[in-house]
C-alpha cells in the first residue's frame, strides 16, 4: 500500500451492521500515513462504540451537531475546513437519501454541506433497498454532483439475502482513497509500452528470442498509470500480471499471430 502522509481524511460512519468495518478502514488509512478524524451518526453509535474508533484514529470521535468545545461551537464548519477527503462508510439507504436532498440534521450531514473536500460514499444496505428505484435516483443525484461511489459488492448479507448491497471490503475502500490522493501529472495522456522478450519465428518450431523478464516494462507501465496516464502495455511471453486498469496485450509477438 502506498503512503498518503499528511492527508487529512474524515470518515463518516452511519447506522448499519457494516459499521464494524469502519475500524479496519481507519487502521489501513493510518498505516498509510493519513490523519483521520471520525464523525458518527446517532444510529452508528448503536452498532459500534465511539471509543473503539477514537482509539484507532487517535482523535476524539465527533457526533454532536452543536459542540460547545468546538471553535465558536461550530464543529461542522471546523471539520468541513479540516478535511481533504470525506468518506462515508458505511452509507445507509436513509443517509444517502438525506445526503441527496441536502439535509443537515446530523453533524455528518452538515459537514457534507459545508465542505469543499472530495467526497466518497460506500453504500451498505439490503439488496431490495439498494435496487429500489428511489435509491437508484438518490445515488444518481450524488454522482451528478461529483460524489464518488465505491461498491456495493454482491454477496450474502446479515439478513440472509444474497445480492448487491454489501459494503466493499475495507482494503478496497482504502486503496481507492489512496489512489484518489496520488498526483495525476499525466492525466489525459496516452502511453504505449512494450515489455518482455520478443520471439522472431524462423519456422514452426524454432525462433530467436532473448531473456527479458518484462519486469522493467511492467514497472514503467504501473508508474505511468499511477500518475493518470491511459496505458497500453504490449508484452511478449512473461509470467507477470498487469493492473486491471492497464490495457494489456500479452504474447502477440509471434510471427504466426
Catalogue the active-site residues: 159
Report the distance separating Cα 82 and Cα 85, nearest Å. 9
Can you tell me which residue has the cell 439488496? 127
* SS3 call for 67: coil
Least Cα distance to 209 among 220, 197, 224, 217 occurs for 197
Cell numbers standing for residue 222: 504501473
Is there a contact between 38 and 57 (Cβ–Cβ < 8 Å)? yes
Report the distance separating Cα 197 and Cα 210, nearest Å. 5
Least Cα distance to 28 among 181, 183, 175, 182 occurs for 175
Report the distance separating Cα 174 and Cα 28, nearest Å. 6
Report the distance separating Cα 80 and Cα 65, nearest Å. 12
Amino acid at each position: 500500500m502506498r503512503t498518503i502522509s499528511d492527508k487529512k481524511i474524515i470518515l463518516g460512519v452511519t447506522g448499519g451492521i457494516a459499521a464494524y468495518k469502519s475500524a479496519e478502514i481507519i487502521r489501513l488509512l493510518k498505516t498509510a500515513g493519513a490523519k483521520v478524524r471520525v464523525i458518527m451518526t446517532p444510529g452508528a453509535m448503536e452498532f459500534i462504540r465511539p471509543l473503539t474508533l477514537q482509539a484507532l484514529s487517535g482523535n476524539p470521535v465527533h457526533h454532536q451537531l452543536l459542540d460547545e468545545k468546538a471553535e465558536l461551537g461550530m464543529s461542522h464548519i471546523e471539520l468541513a475546513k479540516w478535511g481533504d477527503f470525506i468518506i462515508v462508510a458505511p452509507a445507509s439507504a436513509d443517509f444517502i437519501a438525506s445526503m441527496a436532498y441536502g439535509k443537515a440534521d446530523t453533524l455528518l450531514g452538515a459537514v457534507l454541506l459545508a465542505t469543499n473536500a472530495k467526497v466518497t460514499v460506500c453504500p451498505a444496505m439490503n439488496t431490495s433497498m439498494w435496487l429500489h428505484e428511489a435509491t437508484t435516483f438518490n445515488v444518481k443525484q450524488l454522482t451528478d454532483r461529483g460524489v464518488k461511489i465505491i461498491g456495493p459488492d454482491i454477496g450474502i448479507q446479515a439478513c440472509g439475502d444474497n445480492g448487491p448491497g454489501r459494503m466493499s471490503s475495507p482494503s478496497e475502500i482504502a486503496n481507492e482513497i489512496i489512489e484518489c490522493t496520488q498526483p495525476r501529472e499525466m492525466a489525459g495522456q496516452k502511453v504505449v509500452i512494450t515489455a518482455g522478450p520478443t520471439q522472431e519465428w524462423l519456422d514452426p518450431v524454432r525462433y530467436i528470442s532473448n531473456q527479458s523478464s518484462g519486469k522493467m516494462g511492467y514497472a514503467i507501465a504501473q508508474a505511468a498509470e499511477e500518475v493518470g496516464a491511459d496505458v497500453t502495455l504490449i508484452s511478449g511471453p512473461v509470467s507477470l500480471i498487469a493492473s486491471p486498469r492497464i490495457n494489456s496485450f500479452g504474447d502477440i509477438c509471434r510471427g504466426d499471430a
